[in-house]
Amino acid sequence: MPVGPVGTYLVALTARSSWRVGACAALGIASADGSYALVAAVAGSALAPVLEPIVVPLRWASVVVLLALAVSTAIRAVRRYRAQRLTGITQELPVNPLTAYAGLLGMTLLSPMTVIYFAALVLGGGSGDGGPVERAVFVIAAFVASASWQLLLAGGGALLGRALTGHLGRLLTALGSSVVIAVLAVRLVA
């Protein structure tokens, strides 16, 4: 299972907050993946002709969005680090589990990489094969696979958060996350 930009963000979010927040965020990602799997299973063959001409522009849009996310994350991390060095007090707004679920659900639904993945699945024709039972199994399997992987990433983020709780550790985690997101964006078109 690859770790994409959304997964990288999940690890960083869990490291900054808690396992409970990370688990809810992970289930938000899995819900989006399950929703896309449902669309691919139900309307895959009808969507294929619509998606085929926009795959390349969608890929380039993905790169732009992901690079903007990487730069934004890095800038916020540096500003937060500098502010903490000056004041010594952190007043970061806490993230509650419901907000984390909704935020990562929305981020994943809008994530260009997720859209491209499911568009490729639709264009490949594999999701629409079989009857209703096979399609239902496909949707459930996509959700369960995504949930198990995202929960594993959240667990890694929780462990990372325990190890890197200081100001410098948070800065390095955020900057590392930004670099990974940027590299993944460039690999998308390379």
Is the C-alpha dihedral spanning 100, 174, 107, 43 positive or negative?
negative
Over residues 115-164, the pLDDT tens digits come to 767 766 666 665 556 788 888 898 899 899 999 999 999 999 888 877 77
Predicted confidence (pLDDT) per residue in 63-75, tens digit: 787 788 778 878 8
Average per-residue pLDDT for the chain: 80
Structural domain span for residue 68: 5-189
Exposed/middle/buried for residue 117 (C-beta within 10 Å: 0-12, 13-18, 19+): middle
Judge if pTM exceeds 0.75: no
Between residues 80 and 21, which one has the greater pLDDT?
21
CA–chain centroid gap for 24, Å, is 13
Residue 20: pLDDT above 60?
yes
Residues 6+ apart with CB under 8 A from 93: none
**Total domains present in the chain:** 1
Rounded mean pLDDT, 68-84: 80
